Amino acid sequence: MLATARRELDKILGDFNPDYVEERKKMVSDYNPLCSVIEKYLLLLEDHENYFDALSGIINTTAWPITDVLKPSEITTFYDFAVQNKYEFKDDRDITREYVLGDFTRKLTQNSYDAGYNNFSFHSHSFGLISNLYGSKNNLLVISVDDVGSLDIWGSTYYRGKDCNYVQMTLRGPARCYGTGSSNSVFILEGEDRGCLGWSNFFSEPLDLFEKGEVEKASDCTFIIKGKLGIDSGIYCDHCTFKVYSQEAVEQLLGYIGYHGNNRVILVHPDGREELKRDFHG
C-alpha cells in the first residue's frame, strides 16, 4: 500500500508547479511517515462507506487511532493529495469523504500542534477541517485556509471554526456561523459572511433558541470581518469584539447585537485607525 500511496501522490503532484513538485517529492522520499499517513487515509476510505459512520466519529475509535505527528508543510502535502486524488469508488461517497478527510486532517493538525508545531495553512477546504481545534492561552493555534468554497451537506459553508478554543483562524472565502461555540479565539474573515456570525440557528428561529437556552454562541472572541456582514451576525455572542471596515457594517452589528450579550464594536478606518463604536456593557 505504501507503493500505491507514492504512485498516487506522484500523479497528483503533476497538477502543481515544478518547484512545489520537487519539494514535495523530496519530502516523500525522505520522510516515510507521510506515505504511512496517506496509506492509513486510503484504507480508511475503503473501510467506511456509510455517511452515518463518518458522522459518528469513526476515526476517533480504537480501530482507527490517528496518532501520527507531521510537520505543518507535510500535513498540507497530505491534504493536497487527499483533495485531488483520483481514486474511483463503486458508489458516490463524496459526502463521506468530506467528513473523513476533514476530521482526519483536523486530528493531524491537533497532533502536530500538541507536539510543538504551529502555523498551519491549507489551499482548500473540507467539512470539519477547521473546527474543534484547541490551542493555549500563551500560544494560539494559528491556521489559515484559502478557497473554502467547497460544499458540505447543507450546500453552504456552515460552522467554520466551530467549538475552538485559543485559536487564531483566517478564512479567505465564504463562511456561515463562523466561530460558533468557540471561546478565547480570533477569527479573521477575508470573504463573504453568510450570516449568523458566532452562533448557530440551524434548526430554529433565533428567538426560539434563545428562550430554550439552546444557542451555541461564541464567547471572549475577536471577529475581524473585512467584507460585508451577513444577516443576524453577532446575535447572542458574549463578551466578543467585532472589528468591521464600514459604517454600514457597524450599524448592522449594533442592530443585531442589541442588548444581548456584552459585546464591543470597533470600526477600522482605511488608514488602520480603530474607532470604538460600542464598548462592553453597551
Q: What is the mean pLDDT of residues 182-207?
A: 77
The string of pLDDT tens digits covering residues 29-71 is 445 678 888 877 877 776 655 544 544 555 555 456 788 999 9
pLDDT of residue 197: 87
> Dihedral of CA 245/251/252/253: which sign?
positive
DSSP 144-159: EEE------TTSS-BT
Which of the four pLDDT bands, split at 50, 70 and 90, describes residue 270?
very high
The string of pLDDT tens digits covering residues 153-188 is 444 455 678 889 999 999 887 888 888 889 999 999
- 59: which DSSP letter? G
Residues in a beta bridge with 24: none
pLDDT of residue 172: 86
Instruction: Using the predicted structure, report yes or no on whether residue 152 has a pLDDT greater than 50.
Output: no
Q: What is the mean pLDDT of residues 190-213?
A: 65
Residue spans of beta strands (DSSP E) within the chain: 120-122, 141-146, 167-172, 186-189, 222-225, 241-244, 264-268, 274-278
Residues in a beta bridge with 227: none
C-alpha 27: how far from chain center: 25
Spell out the domain ranges in the chain. Answer: 1-118, 130-282
pLDDT of residue 98: 67
The string of pLDDT tens digits covering residues 233-269 is 888 888 999 999 999 999 998 988 865 668 999 999 9
Q: What is the mean pLDDT of residues 124-133?
A: 71
Instruction: Using the predicted structure, report yes or no on whether residue 126 has a pLDDT greater than 90.
Output: no
Instruction: Using the predicted structure, report yes or no on whether residue 142 has a pLDDT greater than 60.
Output: yes
pLDDT of residue 117: 98
pLDDT of residue 52: 47
Return the SS3 of 88.
coil
Q: Which of 234, 215, 209 has the alpha carbon at shortest distance from 224?
A: 234
